[in-house]
Structure 1
Amino acid sequence: MRIFTREDIVAALDETAALAAVERAIVAFAAGHAQSGDAGHFSFPAPGDAHVKVAHLAGEDVFALKVSASFYGNPAKGLSSSQGFSAVMSTTTGEALALFADGGWLTDVRTAMAGAIAARAIGYTGGTLGIVGAGIQARMQAEMIRRHIGADRVLIWGRDPAKAQALAGEVGGEACGDLADLVGASDLLVTTTPSTEWLVDNDWVRPGTRIVAVGSDGGGKRELDPRILGRATIVADSIDKCLENGEAGWAVRVGLLAADGIILLGALLAEPRTFATDAIVVADLTGLPVQDAAIAGAAWRKLAST
């Protein structure tokens, strides 16, 4: 088994090819052309949480096992809040071919890629991008969306104004001290926090807003007022998982949203549709194991040739 460091993977990964692989994986999942085990989710009092996921895409010669962890007090200890690793295994022999000791980098990247893919699918073509959060995923979403779709203006809000200001400087954006102002100004709103109480109020969201909700992926997390979902068209990477762990589940449980009206993201990518300009569209993303298999496979194919 070969072991690759984060530096090895960052240097080798072809972002355009990996982005295409992640999109194909989302479509394959929706079409039933993938296997994935039930994701394991663990919560810790640190505070922190971890996910264990395994998946295989039909036709691929490898499958992947991924452990990703987020420990939100790590920056104060001089550590990244993202941790973890991936293992790539042969579908022919079962051999462990590679261990990616990437500290969770591939997970962060594929999450940002899924955000950009979803943003385009729900009709964002550019304008003002508002990011809720000031951590790793906030930065990656801002960078990925700007590179692959574009944004005339990037606004950043965070609980810690100093972190929001620092991130705004990194991504060429503007720190916004009032979350309501950021939401009202955003053509695309991306939420990236581990909040367990909703942050974005229904009254702040104007018609035509597109939202990519990334933070709610288990452990009681939520970022959106469920009334927003009650007046929106909902797109989910996995309907079952979004009902269990995502923003959609909160709205369904209080009777504001009918589960049978949710659109599967992979189906939308396979058969694109145009949403009304005044429609609120929310992409609810909890993270698919097949995305991990896709990006790990893309990284392995590149690294195996070196």
Structure 2
Amino acid sequence: MIQLSRAEIEQLVTVDDEAVAAVRDAYIAIVDGRGNVPPVGHIAFPATNGDCHIKYGHIAGDPIFAVKIAAGFYDNPAKGLPSSTGIILAISAETGEVRAILNDEGYLTDLRTGIGGAVATLALARADARSVLVIGTGIQARYQSRALAALAGRPLSFRMWGRSLEKTEAIAAELKRDGLDVSVASDLEAACREAHIIITTTPSTEPLVQSEWVQPGAHITAMGADGPGKQELETALVARANVRVADMKTQSLGHGEFSHACAAGLIGSGDCIELGSVLAGTLQGRRSNEDITIADLTGVATQDIAMARTVLERATTKQDGRS
């Protein structure tokens, strides 16, 4: 059995071509029948502003299946601790033996979420989109920005907005050191009105982005509403969108960003499509330059399986090379 620490895992996988291909295929596995994805387990800790997700599943033909425990405690940064952590078990789909314990401390979740967001954004945004507004100052604000910049294939201009100006300036400075074109947005409404792409990365339970702020042609990738009670977009904005894309409709309509409009009777399952179908080319995403498109990404277990498989394959190859 292989046991890997976060530091070891970071040496094995990052935003690279194989990891991106694995995440893309993980979305497609949701729609082509290969993905066996049971409902997400969720534990809320309202007293400590935290939650925990248990995601697990199998992709047909894969030698392993994966079980992931991922926790987010959003007041941790004030205590000098990361807001997310977790662990993944990679288990043989042939014998049930535990093949690997990946003590990634949330790294693989953060990485695949960043890659997945970038894949969705590039699949749905206008080809000429250049200005990106990232809302939030946490881990995913960093991963989303870095992954999108790495995969875009064209220069992008990023603006960062957060409730804390100090934190916003800090993340902007950090991303500038990475070579990104970044500035601080002081007015959220004005920044939304100017953005071609809006990426939301907060654990907010109240809408941050209002419908009237979003212009025709804009794309929104909503990352934060991955559990009951969370919401970053005004319900009217979700209802107004021309194209609504979910990573997995049952999750998005059940507890994701789209769930609020669904509960209000404004949209239903037939008003949404799944990202895997867009990536596979079986359904069209954006239809015109005037469309408002929204991707609601709640995080799917097939992504975790894909990342665990990638790490295990590379770790095994590395070990064999040393033997």
Shift of 1:151: 4.4
**Cα deviation 1:201-247 (Å, max 9, x = unaligned):** 11110110000000001130000001111111101111111011111
Any conservation in 1 of the 2:125–2:197 contact (CA below 8 Å)?
no
- Confirm whether residue 305 of structure 1 aligns to residue 321 of structure 2: no
Shift of 1:26: 0.7
Cα distance in 1 between the residues matched to 2:126 and 2:105 = 31
1:158 matched residue in structure 2: 162
Equivalent residues in 2 for 1:182-201, closer than 5 Å: 182-201=191-210
SS at match of 2:261: helix
SS at match of 1:247: coil
Cα distance in 2 between the residues matched to 1:145 and 1:256 = 31
Cα distance in 2 between the residues matched to 1:112 and 1:234 = 20
Shift of 1:19: 1.1
Root-mean-square deviation (CA, aligned residues, Å) is: 1.2
Cα distance in 2 between the residues matched to 1:127 and 1:51 = 34
Letter in 1 for 2:223: V
Shift of 1:257: 2.3
Letter in 1 for 2:49: P
Any conservation in 1 of the 2:90–2:101 contact (CA below 8 Å)?
yes
2:297 matched residue in structure 1: 285
Cα distance in 2 between the residues matched to 1:268 and 1:36 = 19
**Structure 1 residue runs of 4 or more that deviate by more than 4 Å after TM superposition:** none
Shift of 1:123: 3.0
Shift of 1:2: 2.0
2:39 matched residue in structure 1: 38
SS at match of 2:310: helix
Cα distance in 1 between the residues matched to 2:172 and 2:237 = 26
Structure 2 residue ranges without an equivalent (≥5): 177-181, 319-323
2:93 matched residue in structure 1: 91
- Confirm whether residue 239 of structure 1 aligns to residue 249 of structure 2: yes
Structure 1 residue ranges without an equivalent (≥5): none
1:223 matched residue in structure 2: 232
In 2 relative to 1, CA 84–143 (structure 1 residues): closer, same or farther, beyond 3 Å?
same
Shift of 1:124: 4.0
Equivalent residues in 2 for 1:203-222, closer than 5 Å: 203-222=212-231
SS at match of 1:229: helix
Any conservation in 2 of the 1:41–1:218 contact (CA below 8 Å)?
yes
Cα distance in 2 between the residues matched to 1:66 and 1:18 = 18
Shift of 1:256: 2.6
Equivalent pairs: percent with the same residue?
38
Cα distance in 1 between the residues matched to 2:232 and 2:78 = 24
Cα distance in 1 between the residues matched to 2:7 and 2:147 = 19
Give the TM-score normalised by the residue count of structure 1.
0.97
Any conservation in 1 of the 2:192–2:213 contact (CA below 8 Å)?
yes
Cα distance in 1 between the residues matched to 2:126 and 2:63 = 35
- Confirm whether residue 52 of structure 1 aligns to residue 54 of structure 2: yes
Any conservation in 2 of the 1:123–1:275 contact (CA below 8 Å)?
no
Residue 129 of structure 1 is aligned with which of 109, 132, 143?
132
**Cα deviation 1:159-208 (Å, max 9, x = unaligned):** 11111111111112111111111111111100000000000011110110
Shift of 1:48: 0.4
Any conservation in 1 of the 2:131–2:196 contact (CA below 8 Å)?
yes
Aligned residues: 306
Letter in 1 for 2:8: D
- Confirm whether residue 104 of structure 1 aligns to residue 106 of structure 2: yes
Residue 171 of structure 1 is aligned with which of 165, 175, 195?
175
Any conservation in 1 of the 2:55–2:68 contact (CA below 8 Å)?
yes
Any conservation in 1 of the 2:126–2:289 contact (CA below 8 Å)?
no
1:113 matched residue in structure 2: 115
Shift of 1:97: 1.2
Letter in 1 for 2:116: A
Shift of 1:152: 2.5
